[in-house]
Structure 1
Amino acid sequence: MKRYFPITFFLLAILFSACKKNDYELNTNMKPVEKLSAPVNNKFTKLQPATSASLSFEWEQARAEDGSLVLYEVVFDKESGDFSAPLGRIASDGGGIQNKLTLSHKDLNALAAKAGIPALGTGKLKWNVSASKGFNIQPSAETRTIEVERPAGFAEIPVDVFLTGTATEAGGDAANALQMKMITAGVFEIYTSLKDGKFQFIDRKTGTPNNFYMDGDLLKEKGESTHAAGTKAYRIRLDFNNATATATEILSIGLWFAPDDKFLFETAYAGNGKWSAADKNITFRQESWGRDERYKFRIRVKNAAGVESDEWIGSSNADNSRPTSTTPASFWELRPITGNDRWNYCYKFKTEVDTKNCDVNLFFYRDKNYTHEIIIK
């Protein structure tokens, strides 16, 4: 049986559909940000990226015609820029909702570096605020500048650092560059040798890496260093946090035998961060209580000014028992020691070493903790 509906039902349905459709139309009309509030124009800030310091950027709200949500980005450019190719666009606090951006000095330092402001230099950054609703994006009516002074060091610290060049053990092919060991965040070092030639540091082995070089005790970008002192072993340390570099010459590494209060022998640089002494006799000292076998190492170094000094390396423990076949590998790790006390922080030889000839090897390798081994011949 057919059913008939009044025509008014259909008219009402059409009207309801039209109203429903209009309810979901996107209204993107808005008034952009009229005024920036903080910081004041040309505010000077001495950046301290190593701290938790930050700078607050604030502005009046943009107004959406339908009263709905507006999103914000703070746009930065160099002083001479026109925001067509900005240095960065950063969403405001709260995922772009708040009319405020809290920006760390670390991030500001990175923007200043992009603007070409050098380390320890002063320069200006320009900023405004883009408000957006849907596809409608409008810049603020006002633009301001901030003046910043950059600290020493690099705004962008590399994750990896490699040593390359004709003066290095690996030669001038970047594909063979020697990777440096990260000691702490932003600090890298390598034990190696240099011969006469050129050398530099790069942050990757492929593509077009960023490169750095030593200029005295300063670490700088875009250049290379010259070594012209013959072949010598060095500990090279780079600190990207304060843009410093040191090349400490390693004159010798000697094995200090505490019972006799003297060095038994010196090791020689064997290449690739390794020092060795081959076929050396090691005889413990007889005491009333037994055989004494304690030892550690001294590094004789010379700084860039030609001043010589001693550095001591030994155990992480003030006292030790003789190692055995089950002693963990950490026992032989090399640790810096403060002072030159005769007895403390010494290793002990295995019992089997007594009166034997041995090879002694010290390893200053990037991929593991610095360590050493005693091989009985």
Structure 2
Amino acid sequence: MKKILLISAALLAVMSCQKYKYDTNFSAPTKLNSPESVNIDPTSTQNVVLSWTGGGAEDGGICLYNVLFDEVDGDFSEPIAIMASDNGGLAQLTLTHATLNILARNAGIGALETGSIKWTVTASRGGEVKQSEVSATISLTRPDGLSLIPEELYLYGSAIAGDGGEGRAFRKVSEGVFDMFAVLADGEIYFRNTTGDDAVNFYINSENKLADGEGTTTVTATDLNEEKNYIAERITVDFNTLSMKREKIGELHIVWSQTYGDVGPEEFGIKDPVYRFTYDGNGVFSRTIDVITVPYRHPGWPAGQTVADERYYFDVKVDDVDMRWRWSSPSLTGAAPEVNAPLSYYDIVEVTWASAGQWDNAYKFNASLLNAGSVTVKIYGNLDGYFCHQFE
């Protein structure tokens, strides 16, 4: 009996010393399923499902799947996109029409064109990856328009090299509308929705419409006519109208609401070329004021009538049309804000000069800036997403 117990103990000891080997064998899918063709409608809520069967883990465990997409004559060595399957481990991938539109564009299929892409699947487990030996093809017909409307927009190309360089961010004005102040050189420009490697490119095509793809737009240098004091231009890209607009900016002044005259030692409605803003580059305009002296009397008022009023705004010519850059909120009647107040106080909206009342939506100088020596005013085309101004 004692010998039997000793033998049993020895067998248990040997078994406990042996490592348990997990079955990690798996194989890639052997059959792929997808629609033969899709007419893409980016507004559609009907999804397209790619699925596959065959292969998998021999022990019934989970494999992770990636779907590779490529041009129809590609070999998946440099796929146009790689996407994880639904939840990473399901044997299917659900695609929206918007995603299919991007895939079609990346495969070189233009708007209103029909072309094909192909796809295959890789399975992985324990760090090992196996690719399916089969692939499937889908015919895609793209709609007119763009593959997406970006949330952000950046300017690229040789024409912007001298003013902030490639990758300068536009300000988002509203949904699908972006603008930027710049000085361009003769050259090429194009737009991207991100500065990353997976960016979507946009450009103005031969029909003068915004398009997506690898094209560029040839532009002439910004008109800096000295006689008209053009100092920069505003570029507006509108994804809603598929357009780009270039507007000349000049005769930019900071003026008193009371007198329409330049802010500074002058008092009575005079706009002197000496006091115009200059363009510093990278979307910034500036003017240094020797001293901010508040005018106490308007020449049209009765003798003896004086009042100090610290309200101001900006006058500017946009394509030679008089415009006003002013506050987005009603004029202050109380105390002026602090110099370091939130940017929302110093934000700027543009209206025509003819429609702007003398006192409407004016800013108000903080008392610390008055009669306090030199002050520099800077207007930013895009400061943390604001078109605004600051004092230094």
| Fold conserved between structures, TM > 0.5 | yes
Instruction: Write the deviation string for residues 218-274 of structure 1: whole angstroms up to 9, x where unpaired.
Output: 477454534267424201234679864321111333445444578652763412231
**Aligned partners of 1:30, 1:370: CA distance in 2, in Å?**
57
Aligned partner (choices 29, 37, 41) of residue 42 of structure 1: 37
With over 3 angstroms needed to count, the CA separation of the structure-2 counterparts of 1:358 and 1:13, relative to structure 1, is closer
Structure 1 residues 144 and 210: CA distance shift in structure 2, 3 A:
closer
1 CA distance for matches of 2:4 and 2:14?
A: 16
TM-score, L = length of structure 2 = 0.66
Gaps of 5+ in 1: 303-307
SS at match of 2:105: helix
Measured at CA, do residues 374 and 284 of structure 1 come closer, stay the same or move farther in structure 2, by a change above 3 Å?
Answer: farther
Q: Deviations over 1:69-98 (max 9, x none)?
A: 3443323221233445433332211222x1
**1:341 paired residue number:** 357
Q: Residue 47 of structure 1 contacts residue 105 of structure 1 at CA under 8 Å; is this kept in 2? A: yes
Counterpart Cα distance in 2 of 1:30 and 1:194? 56
1:232-251 superposed matches below 5 A: 232=230, 233-238=232-237, 244-251=243-250
Residue from 59, 77, 86 that aligns with 1:93:
86
Q: Matches of residues 263-278 of structure 1 in structure 2 within 5 Å?
A: 264-265=270-271, 268-272=276-280, 273-276=284-287
Cα distance in structure 1, aligned partners of 2:367 and 2:56: 83
Structure 1 counterpart of 2:140: 147
Once the two structures are superposed, the pairs formed by residues 2-81 of structure 1 within 5 Å of their partners are: 9=8, 12-13=11-12, 24-26=21-23, 28=25, 32-34=29-31, 36=33, 39-47=34-42, 54-60=47-53, 62=55, 64-81=57-74
Q: C-alpha separation between the residues in 2 aligned to 1:158 and 1:259? A: 40
Aligned partner of 2:311 among 281, 294, 301: 294
Partner of 2:189: 200
TM-score, normalization by structure 1: 0.68
CA RMSD of aligned residues (A): 5.0
Bigger fraction of residues in strand: 1
Superposed, which structure 2 residues align to 1:119-138 within 5 Å?
Answer: 121-131=113-123, 135=128, 137=130
Deviation, structure 1 residue 132: 5.2
Aligned length in residues: 353
Q: Equivalent residues in 2 for 1:356-371 (5 A)?
A: 361-364=377-380, 366-367=382-383, 369-371=386-388
Structure 2: state its 5+ residue gaps. Answer: 225-229, 262-268
Matches within 5 A, 1:216-227: 216=208, 218=210, 221-223=214-216, 225-227=218-220
Instruction: Specify the code of the residue in structure 1 equivalent to 2:81.
Output: G
Q: Within 1, Cα distance between the matches of 2:318 and 2:23? A: 73
Residues 87-126 of structure 1: per-residue CA shift (max 9 Å, x gap): 3332211222x12212344543443333222456443222
- In 2: Cα distance, 1:25 partner to 1:181 partner: 52
1:300-315 superposed matches below 5 A: 300-302=317-319, 309-315=321-327
Question: Cα 1:162–1:128, aligned 2, differ >3 Å: closer, same or farther?
Answer: closer
The amino acid of 1:79's aligned partner reads: V
1:145–1:133: structure 2 CA closer, same or farther, 3 Å change rule? Answer: same
| Cα gap change, 1:291 to 1:311, in 2 (>3 Å) | same
Q: Is the 8 A contact 1:358 1:374 kept in 2?
A: no
Shift of 1:330: 3.8
Alignment of 1:162-177 (within 5 A): 165=158, 170=162, 177=165
Whether the aligned pair in 1 keeps the contact of 2:155 and 2:170 (CA below 8 Å) is no
Deviation at 1:213, TM superposition (A): 6.1
- Check if 1:182 corresponds to 2:136: no
Q: What secondary structure, in the 3-state scheme, does the structure 2 residue paired with 1:177 have?
A: coil
Q: CA 1:252/1:124 → structure 2, altered by over 3 Å: closer, same or farther?
A: farther
Identity of aligned residues (%): 22
- Native 8 Å contact 2:203 2:211 kept in 1: yes
Q: Distance in 1 between matches of 2:215 and 2:342?
A: 41
Aligned counterparts of 1:331 and 1:30: Cα–Cα separation in 2: 59
Contact 2:236 2:246 in 1 (8 A): yes
Cα deviations across residues 306-330 of structure 1 (Å, max 9, x unaligned)? xx54543222431213537667364
Question: 1:330 and 1:78 mapped to 2: Cα distance?
Answer: 47
2:336 to 305, 323, 333: 323
Distance change in 2, residues 1:366/1:132 (3 Å): closer
Residues in 2 aligned to 1:32 and 1:56: alpha-carbon distance in whole angstroms = 16
Q: How far is 1:149 from its partner?
A: 1.2
Q: Structure 2: how far apart are the matches of 1:47 and 1:139?
A: 30
**Which residue identity is paired with 1:56?**
V
| 1:163–1:201 contact (8 Å) kept in structure 2 | yes
SS in 1 for 2:49: strand
For residue 147 of structure 1, report the CA deviation from its aligned partner: 0.7
Distance 2:202 2:70 in 1: 26
Corresponding residue for residue 266 of structure 2: none
The match for 1:305 is none
Residues 255 and 84 from structure 1, CA distance in 2 versus in 1: closer, same or farther, beyond 3 angstroms?
Answer: closer
TM-superposition CA deviations, 1:256-303 (whole Å, max 9, x none): 54445786527634122315386697524468794444332233212x
